Chain A
């Protein structure tokens, strides 16, 4: 079974530029999550999708971050404009269905460096 795929793996940008990350969850998983992991900390949830609807985006900085999962499969996370404090690893995870069983499987992550 293929795992969660993410791209790119690494990205270096200057502040005020924009960047986008892509995630393809495990086939058949209805729930998709984006996490931000700052060095030395545990992952923090940014947004949670159930199919193509948003379940929780309470911790997403909506003035600069946006995410979509239009067809209920792949998802993109965008930052525009980026700030220095956005330097982190962005992890995508998926689970079968958060309402039934919430074991989440994580992708390899995208390491973002903002200069």
Chain B
């Protein structure tokens, strides 16, 4: 069974600080996805990581993938209040019909 674990589940941080969210998964995966969800809203795609060593950056967010360690990280640089949201990672695998399996999510609160 494909399982995804995120930590921390809740993160409260000050504006201007840096932090990292971790995403571990249980079996080999074809792709790793990061989504953002604002309260009462749907999921917005942030990054799709396709191969070992992949790194993608958008603004203050940077995502990386280490398929050997089965680990992805979402690094937040100099956090601002607008980044407050819930962040989900998800993986898929051909053996499981390519269905997305999501982590529980990390609630991020950036305090000004």
Q: Which residues of A contact B (CB under 8 A)?
A: 33, 40-45, 48, 55-56, 91, 93, 98-99, 102-109
Contacts and interface: CB of A to CB of B under 8 A. Distances in A.
Given A102-B31, A103-B33, A42 B102 contact: yes
Q: Which of A44, A93, A98, A104 has the most CB of B within 10 A?
A: A104
A108 B35 CA distance: 14
Interface in B41-63: 41-45, 48
Q: Is chain B's binding surface mostly helix, strand, loop or mixed?
A: strand
B83 interface: no
Interface of B: 4, 30-31, 33, 35, 41-45, 48, 88, 90, 92, 97-105
Contacts of B41: 108
A78 B89 CA distance: 28
Contact of B43 (A41, A43, A55): A43
B45 A42 contact: no
Nearest to A47: B99
Given A48-B97, A56-B97, A106 B105 contact: no
A106 B98 contact: no
Nearest to B96: A56
Nearest to B45: A103
Given A42-B88, A42-B104, A106 B42 contact: yes
Nearest to A92: B42
A104 B100 contact: yes
4 tightest Cβ-Cβ pairs between the two chains A and B: A42-B102, A106-B43, A106-B42, A56-B97
A45 B43 contact: no
Given A48-B97, A48-B99, A102 B88 contact: no
